[in-house]
């Protein structure tokens, strides 16, 4: 009976203990290894550390005993609290998605973690059942969805879903390997190494270690270059391993009006996304994947939980660009993609190149000043910034069809965003002083997302084209072609901004 209070699986005690231990591992390790006391004092200190571990285990046990859940009177009811008892009642109609994941401990016992997200959204799940059986998770999903149907909130969607056949996409091993090899996660790995390196001197006798490798200071430049190459290779391999573990066995199933994503090897995750929560579709091609013709297709959704890697709602993480277009037609026909675009004018190319080049001149000047010889090598990066500026100019533009706008742009990666008019929260037309002299303008569109919102911009469009987009969004039939009418445009359109510094 779902109305009877139930406890989580006893493995929850172990999970709580390991989570608490993970949070305390650094101060506890410092305490144990920094302790040099002998005799009775040393025994007391180590005994205190052991008692502390027992208290963590006891706390996990009490937390498990005090946690119960049940479905009663069209509500999911949670009662918990060790010293202060807490009751949380979540109406069934507020439930948006139910996701399951399985970490290493859950997989050892054949369990899953159930995450329930509500209409309030947020980065964390509203309710988390840390460890329950797969059968219990399936029963909770079924019970919650059945109750929503009885309340009438999803009756129409359920009827339509019953007649629609399921569609399935599975990532191939080739796509996974190419995606892992071209991942930008190497930057995250290197950042973590540098962050650890800044603190490692507090834990290790770093001076003695460096003393043993003092010969490196007198090594030749090729040898040092080889060591740097090996370091980057190791970071790349670690990044590859992380992607392979995270996105192994990736599959996407469209069932009715829901998209169900399953992925992961060590930690298995399942994410359910209602189509009605999708606000936009984003197609990204990083500089490594673009020459190979590969892209990542992500969903921008209102509410829900985000992963740190930003790919929690990637429906096609690593896929051929031309195949992505056909897959979108199959799974999300209302988000049709077109590579056609109205580009920015040729006179905007100089602005794009300057926008990319000038920020590189400052660090180059500092390096040349500090290192008069070697610093000159920083100027070799200028052609790279020139190339990115030209590519950003070449890729910028838009495509307008019916009630759907597609914006094309580039930062480092080439990005295309498919924006239905009814999902757009805001549209702005902006023009600064430099753009005003060249009859150019910037357009910005914003949609709801799981955090503060997502905003996309195309710079230096023809002013007349930018006006056309603004009139399309605002519903005006008359287009103002003459730049002298900007005052009228500003009076009638409060979102129109310009000119600005």
pLDDT tens string 401-434: 989 999 999 988 999 999 999 999 889 999 988 8
pTM: 0.66
Average pLDDT of span 477-492: 42
Q: Please give the order of strands across the beta sheet that includes 404-410.
A: 314-320, 294-301, 278-285, 414-420, 404-410, 397-401, 342-343
* More reliable by pLDDT, 374 or 400: 400
Average pLDDT of span 458-481: 80
- Is residue 141 scored above 80 in pLDDT? yes
Beta strands in 302-453 (DSSP E): 314-320, 342-343, 397-401, 404-410, 414-420, 424-432, 440-447
pLDDT score, position 193: 44
Q: Which of 183, 217, 358 is nearest to 286 (CA)?
A: 183
Q: Which of 264, 11, 255 is nearest to 129 (CA)?
A: 11
Structure tokens at 347: 């006179």
Q: For residue 292, what are the β-bridge partners?
A: none
| Pairwise CA distance, residues 261 & 441, whole Å | 39
* More reliable by pLDDT, 452 or 469: 469
| Pairwise CA distance, residues 454 & 300, whole Å | 8
Average pLDDT of span 142-152: 73
Q: Specify the domain boundaries for CATH 2.30.29.30 within the chain.
A: 11-153
| Whole-number percent of the chain with pLDDT over 70 | 74
Lowest mean pLDDT among 88-92, 135-139, 428-432: 88-92
Q: Which residues contact 22 (CB under 8 A, 6 or more apart)?
A: none
Q: Which of 131, 63, 136 is nearest to 102 (CA)?
A: 131
Q: Which of 460, 482, 480, 469 is nearest to 427 (CA)?
A: 469
Structure tokens at 382: 């200028």
Q: How many CB atoms lie within 10 A of CB 334?
A: 13
pLDDT score, position 16: 85
What confidence category does residue 439 fall into, taking pLDDT thresholds of 50, 70 and 90?
Answer: very high
Lowest mean pLDDT among 80-84, 246-250, 401-405: 80-84
Structure tokens at 72: 């009663």
Q: Which residue is it, tokens 């939980």?
A: 305
Check if CATH label 2.30.29.30 holds for domain 11-153.
yes
pLDDT score, position 191: 45
| C-alpha atoms less than 13 angstroms from C-alpha of 261 in its C-beta half-sphere | 23
pLDDT score, position 420: 93
What confidence category does residue 452 fall into, taking pLDDT thresholds of 50, 70 and 90?
Answer: low
Q: Which of 212, 77, 74 is nearest to 145 (CA)?
A: 74
Average pLDDT of span 457-461: 94
| Pairwise CA distance, residues 224 & 222, whole Å | 5
Q: What would the DSSP string read from start to end of 287-337? A: TTTGGGTEEEEEEEESSS---TTS-TTEEEEEEEHHHHHHHHHHH-GGG--
Lowest mean pLDDT among 106-120, 211-225, 308-322: 211-225
Q: What is the mean pLDDT of the chain?
A: 78
User: Each residue of 351-395: pLDDT tens digit?
Assistant: 999 988 888 888 788 878 887 777 787 788 888 889 999 999 999
| Pairwise CA distance, residues 445 & 68, whole Å | 45
């Amino acid at each position: 009976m779902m109305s009877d209070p139930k406890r989580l699986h006893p493995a929850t005690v172990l999970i709580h203990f390991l989570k608490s231990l993970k949070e305390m591992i650094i101060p506890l390790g410092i305490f144990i290894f920094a302790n040099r006391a002998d005799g009775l004092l040393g025994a007391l200190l180590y005994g205190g550390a052991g008692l502390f571990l027992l208290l963590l285990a006891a706390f996990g046990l009490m937390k498990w005993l005090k946690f119960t859940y049940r479905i009663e009177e069209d509500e999911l009811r949670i009662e918990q609290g060790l010293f202060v008892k807490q009751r949380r009642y979540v109406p069934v109609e507020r439930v948006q998605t139910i996701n399951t994941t399985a970490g290493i401990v859950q997989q050892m016992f054949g369990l899953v973690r159930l995450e329930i997200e509500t209409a309030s959204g947020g980065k964390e799940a509203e309710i988390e059942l840390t460890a329950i059986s797969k059968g219990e998770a399936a029963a909770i999903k079924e019970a919650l969805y059945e109750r929503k149907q009885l309340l009438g909130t999803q009756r129409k969607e359920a009827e339509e879903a019953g007649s629609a056949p399921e569609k399935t996409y599975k990532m191939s091993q080739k796509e996974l390997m190419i995606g892992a090899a071209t991942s930008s996660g190497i930057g995250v790995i290197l950042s973590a190494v540098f962050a650890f390196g800044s603190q490692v001197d507090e834990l290790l006798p770093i001076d003695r270690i460096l003393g043993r490798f003092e010969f490196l200071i007198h090594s030749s430049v090729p040898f040092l270059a080889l060591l740097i190459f090996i370091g980057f290779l190791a970071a790349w391999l670690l990044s590859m391993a992380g992607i392979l573990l995270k996105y192994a066995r990736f599959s996407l199933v469209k069932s009715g009006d829901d998209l169900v994503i399953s992925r992961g090897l060590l930690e298995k995750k399942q994410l359910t996304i209602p189509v009605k929560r999708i606000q936009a579709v984003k197609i990204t091609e990083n500089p490594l994947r673009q020459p190979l013709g590969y892209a990542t297709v992500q969903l921008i959704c209102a509410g829900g939980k985000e992963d740190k890697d930003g790919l929690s709602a990637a429906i096609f993480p690593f896929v051929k660009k031309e195949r992505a277009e056909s897959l979108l037609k199959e799974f999300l026909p209302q988000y049709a993609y077109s590579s056609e675009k109205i580009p920015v004018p040729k006179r905007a190319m100089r602005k794009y190149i300057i926008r990319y080049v000038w920020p590189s001149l400052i660090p180059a000047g500092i390096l040349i000043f500090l290192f008069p010889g070697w610093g000159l090598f920083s100027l070799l990066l200028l052609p790279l910034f020139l190339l990115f500026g030209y590519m950003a100019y070449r890729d910028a533009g838009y495509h307008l069809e019916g009630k759907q706008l597609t914006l094309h742009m580039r930062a480092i990666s080439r990005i295309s965003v498919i924006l239905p008019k009814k999902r757009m929260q805001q549209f702005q037309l902006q023009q600064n002083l430099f753009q005003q002299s060249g009859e150019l303008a910037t357009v910005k569109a914003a949609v709801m997302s799981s955090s503060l919102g997502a905003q996309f911009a195309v710079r230096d469009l023809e002013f007349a084209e930018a006006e056309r987009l603004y009139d399309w969004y605002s519903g005006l039939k008359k287009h103002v072609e003459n730049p002298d009418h900007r005052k009228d445009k500003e009076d009638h359109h409060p979102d129109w901004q310009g000119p600005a510094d």
